[in-house]
Structure 1
Amino acid sequence: MFKNLSPNIKSSITRSITQTFEQYMSDIEWSGEKFSIDDYIASWREYITEKALWYSKIPDDMKNDPEFHEDLAKRINEIIARILSEPPSEEQVVEIQSMQEVLDTHYEYHCKAEAIYVETLLKNKINA
């Protein structure tokens, strides 16, 4: 069912999943202990119903179809797996290591998105 959507809507859905996941993870400080898929899905649902322009373009009968929800769940899982498996860039690693030496901190990061979070956190500490 998901594959029947226009490329623009599929792209918008992918962006919304990515943005809300990265924001959710930032909100919980990339803590595995604080992570809850239910909380993430709730934040994504809130985003799509209140802010996503693509949501109103999907017919209600499709939104209510269990197959559509299964397809979305698969897509969410795929995108989260992709985000978590993308390694930080060499530039990020160098920049973070440099800031950690200055601040004498030891933040860990395992993927590019988490490295962005750590880099922002460290920059804010340096600029404070």
Structure 2
Amino acid sequence: MYNDLSPNIKSSITRSITQTFEQYMSDIAWDEELYDIEDFIDSWREYITTKALWYERISDDMKANPKFHEDLAQRINEVIQRIISEPPSEEQIANIQIMQEKLDTHYSYDCKAEAVFVESLLKDRLNKEQ
């Protein structure tokens, strides 16, 4: 069923998963022990029902179909896997290393999205110290 959607809607779904996942992980400071798939799904459900324009363009029949939900679950897993598999850029690694040396911190990060979070955290700390 998911594959029957227009490319624009599929792209919008992927964007909504990506944005919500990255925001959720930021909210829990990328702490894997705090990660709860149900909490993430609740966040995503709230996002799509209140902010996502694509959600209104899908029929109620499709939204009620279990196969559509299976397809969405698979897509969510694929997007999350892609996010956590994308390595940080060399520039991110260098910037984080410089800031960590200045602040004497030792944050770890495993993917590009987590590096964005760490970079932001370190920049905020540096700005507060200046």
* TM bracket, shorter-chain basis: over 0.9
Distance 2:66 2:127 in 1: 49
Count of aligned pairs: 128
Q: String of CA shifts for 1:20-46, please: whole Å, max 9, x gaps.
A: 000000000000100000000000000
Aligned to 1:55: 55
Aligned to 2:97: 97
Aligned to 2:110: 110
Aligned to 2:71: 71
For normalisation by structure 1, the TM-score amounts to 1.00
Structure 1 residues 1-128: aligned runs within 5 Å: 1-128=1-128
Question: How far 1:91 sits from its partner (Å)?
Answer: 0.2
Identity %: 71
User: Which runs of no fewer than 5 residues in structure 2 stay unpaired?
Assistant: none
SS of 2:97's partner is helix
Distance 1:67 1:52 in 2: 21
For normalisation by structure 2, the TM-score amounts to 0.98
SS of 2:26's partner is helix
Runs of 4+ in 1 over 6 A off after TM superposition: none
Q: String of CA shifts for 1:25-76, please: whole Å, max 9, x gaps.
A: 0000000100000000000000000000000000000000000000000000
Distance 1:7 1:124 in 2: 38
Question: How far 1:112 sits from its partner (Å)?
Answer: 0.2
Question: How far 1:7 sits from its partner (Å)?
Answer: 0.3
Question: How far 1:118 sits from its partner (Å)?
Answer: 0.1
Distance 2:89 2:76 in 1: 24
Question: How far 1:80 sits from its partner (Å)?
Answer: 0.2
